[in-house]
Structure 1
Amino acid sequence: MRNKSDDRPDPLDFSEFGPEATWRRGLNDIAAALRFYTRLPLFGRRAENHGAPDFARMAWATPIAGAVVGVIGACIFAFCVWANLSPIVAAGVSLAAMIVTTGAFHEDGLADTADSLGAYTVQDRLEVMRDSRIGTFGACALILSLLLRAGLLASIFEAHGLLAACLVLIAAETTSRAGSLAMGYSLPPARSEGAAISAGKPTGDGFFHAALVAGLVTALCVATTIGFGTGLAAFAAVYLAAFLMVRFAARMYRGQTGDAAGATQQVATLAFLAAVAMLR
C-alpha cells in the first residue's frame, strides 16, 4: 500500500539541479520575460495559458527582454539610415517599431503616471492611473518623451556613427528595464490588489543579477565603442533616474504600481541616451 509520504520529493534527488535543469529554468524565465514585456508571437503568447509573471524568479531576465526590443529598434534604425532617411526620421521609425513590439507597454505607464500629477490625494492619483483615457499631462509626457528619445538617438548617430548609435540603443533598452525593477524591489504595492500584488517582488539576488546583465551589455555596447567613462556614466544615470522615481512614487502613491514602473523605464531610457549624447 502506497504511503502519502511517498508523494513528497526525494530530498536526495538532484535531477532538478543539474546543468540541464538550470538551462531549462533560465530559458523559461527568458520566455516569461518576453511574454510580459513584448507582443512578439513567440513562446506561447496566449494569455490564458500563463498566469502573472513571477518577478521573484524572472527578474534577472528582464534586461534580456529589453535587449531583444533594442535589437529590433537598432535593426530598423540601421535600415532607415541605409535607405537614406534623415537621422531624426530613422530614429522616429525605430521608436515606432519598438512601440509596436512592446504594445506601448511602458509608454502607457508614463502617460498614466503623468496624468496622476493633476490629482491632489494619494487615492485620487491611484484612481486616475486606473483610467485608460489619456489626459493633457499624459499626452504632453508622451510627446516630449518620443521627441527627446528620437532627438537624442539622432544626435548620438551624428556624433559617433551608425554602429555606435545602434549599440547605444540596445544598451539603453536593456539597462532601463533593469533599472525599472528598482520600483518593485524598493517599495510595497500601493494597492491591495492588482498586477503588482500578483506579479511578486524581485528578490535582492534577482535585482543584482539584472543589474549585472545590464552592466555587461552596457560595457559591450558602449564602453567598447565610445568609451568606458561614457558607458559608466550612462549606467549610473539609469540608476540615479530609478532612485529618483522610487522617491517620487513613495511620496505620490505611498508605494509602487505597474504604471510607475513603466514610467521609470521611460525616464531611465532618456537618462541613458542623454548621458551618452552629452559626453561626446
Structure 2
Amino acid sequence: MSTEHQTQSKSSLTESGYRYQWQLFLVALAFFTRIPIPTSTPFSTKRLNHANRYFGVIGIIVGVICSLIYLLFILLFPATIAIGIAIISGLLITGAFHEDGLADVFDGFGGGWTVESKLNIMKDSRLGTYGASALVMALGLKWITLVSLADINLYLPIYAFIVMHCISRVAAASLIFSYPYVRADQDSKVKPLANQQSLLDIGILLTTGILVLSILPLSLALSCLITTILIRQSCGYWFNHQLGGYTGDCLGATQQLAEITGYLTLLTFANHYHF
C-alpha cells in the first residue's frame, strides 16, 4: 500500500513538475509559432491558460532563428539583404501573428467610433488603409533600424533579434495580468489566455525577460527595460481608453511596438557609445 502510494505521489509530482512545464512550453510553441510539436502533446484550455508564462521563451527561440538566418546570409549578401531575409523568416515562423494584431488595432481604432464598431472592424479579416499603413511603417522601421545597427557592428542585429523578440513578448503578455479582456466571442485568438492566470505565470514571464536583458551592458539593459515599460504602460492606457480593456490583437500590437522601440533604443545607445 505504501509503495503504491509513493508511486502515485511521484507520478503526480512529475505531472505537476517538469513534465507539465514541458507540455505548457509545447502548447505555447504551437500557439505562438508555426513550429510543429508532437501530436501526442496533451492540449487543454487550462494548459493554454498558463502557456503565456513561456511567451518570452518563445521570443528567444524566434530571435535565435532570425539571428542564425542573418548570420548565414551575411556570408552571401550585404547586411541590407541579410536582415531583410531574417525579418521575413520571423514572419514565416510566427505566421505574422503579431503583425496581424498590429494591423487590426490600427484599422479598428482608426475606423471605429464606438467600442462595438472598433471590435467588429478588428475582427474583420480584411486589411484596411490604417492597418496596411501601420504594417508598412512597422516593417520598414524594423528593417532600416537593424540595417543601421549592422552598419555600426555586424553583430549588433544578433543581440537585437534575441533580446527584443523576448522582452517585447514579455511586455505584451504582461497586459493580461493588468487589464480586463473585452471580447466576448468564442473564436478570438487569446480568450483562453484571459482567464485563471497565476503568480507563477507572471513570475516565470518576468524572470525570462530579466535574464535575457542581463546579456546586455547594464546601462543598455536598464534603458531597454525603461522604454519597454513605457511602451507597455502606454499601450495599456491606450487600449483601456479605446476599448475598456484588451483583445488578442492588442497584445500583438504591443509586441510589435515594443520590439520596434527596443531596436531604436539599442540604435540610440550604439550611436553614442560606438560599440
Q: For this structure pair, what is the TM-score category when the shorter chain's length is used for normalisation?
A: 0.7 to 0.9
1:235 maps onto 2:220 in alignment: no
Indicate the residue corresponding to 2:124 in structure 1. 131
SS in 1 for 2:17: helix
What residue ranges of structure 2 are gaps of 5+ in the alignment? 271-275
Could you tell me which of 222, 239, 246 is aligned with 1:249? 239
Task: Give 1:32-51 correspondences, 5 Å limit.
Answer: 32-44=27-39, 50-51=43-44
1:209 maps onto 2:204 in alignment: yes
* 1:200/1:276 CA distance change after superposition, 3 Å: same
Indicate the residue corresponding to 1:7 in structure 2. none
* 1:266/1:192 CA distance change after superposition, 3 Å: same
Match for 2:192: what amino acid? S
State the distance in 2 between where 1:96 and 1:103 align: 10
Aligned identity (percent) is 25
Please report how far the alpha carbon of residue 79 of structure 1 lies from its aligned counterpart in structure 2 after TM superposition. Answer: 1.2
1:140 maps onto 2:140 in alignment: no
8 A Cα contact 1:106 1:265, kept in partner: yes
Please report how far the alpha carbon of residue 95 of structure 1 lies from its aligned counterpart in structure 2 after TM superposition. Answer: 0.8
**CA deviations over 1:199-255 (Å, ceiling 9, x no partner):** 3333343123211111101212xx1xxx22112211222222111111111011111
Could you tell me which of 95, 101, 104 is aligned with 2:87? 95
State the distance in 2 between where 1:232 and 1:45 align: 41
1:188 maps onto 2:180 in alignment: yes
8 A Cα contact 2:106 2:130, kept in partner: yes
Relative to the length of structure 2, the TM-score reads 0.87
Match for 1:65: what amino acid? I
Could you tell me which of 165, 170, 177 is aligned with 1:178? 170
State the distance in 1 between where 2:89 and 2:7 align: 49
State the distance in 2 between where 1:90 and 1:73 align: 10
State the distance in 1 between where 2:120 and 2:6 align: 48
Indicate the residue corresponding to 2:264 in structure 1. 274
**CA deviations over 1:8-33 (Å, ceiling 9, x no partner):** xx899632564685211121111011
State the distance in 2 between where 1:50 and 1:56 align: 11
Indicate the residue corresponding to 2:99 in structure 1. 107
Indicate the residue corresponding to 2:273 in structure 1. none
State the distance in 2 between where 1:192 and 1:82 align: 49
State the distance in 2 between where 1:13 and 1:19 align: 10
C-alpha root-mean-square deviation of aligned residues, in Å? 2.3
- Greater shift, 128-137 or 49-58, is seen at 49-58
- Greater shift, 265-274 or 237-246, is seen at 237-246
8 A Cα contact 1:115 1:137, kept in partner: yes
Match for 2:184: what amino acid? S
Could you tell me which of 245, 265, 268 is aligned with 2:255? 265
Could you tell me which of 193, 198, 201 is aligned with 2:192? 198
1:121 maps onto 2:111 in alignment: no
Match for 2:113: what amino acid? Y
Please report how far the alpha carbon of residue 261 of structure 1 lies from its aligned counterpart in structure 2 after TM superposition. Answer: 0.5
State the distance in 2 between where 1:169 and 1:181 align: 18
8 A Cα contact 2:50 2:201, kept in partner: yes
Match for 2:25: what amino acid? I
State the distance in 2 between where 1:45 and 1:251 align: 42
SS in 2 for 1:35: helix
State the distance in 1 between where 2:265 and 2:40 align: 35
* 1:184/1:215 CA distance change after superposition, 3 Å: same
Match for 2:193: what amino acid? A
- Greater shift, 133-142 or 146-155, is seen at 146-155
8 A Cα contact 2:107 2:128, kept in partner: yes
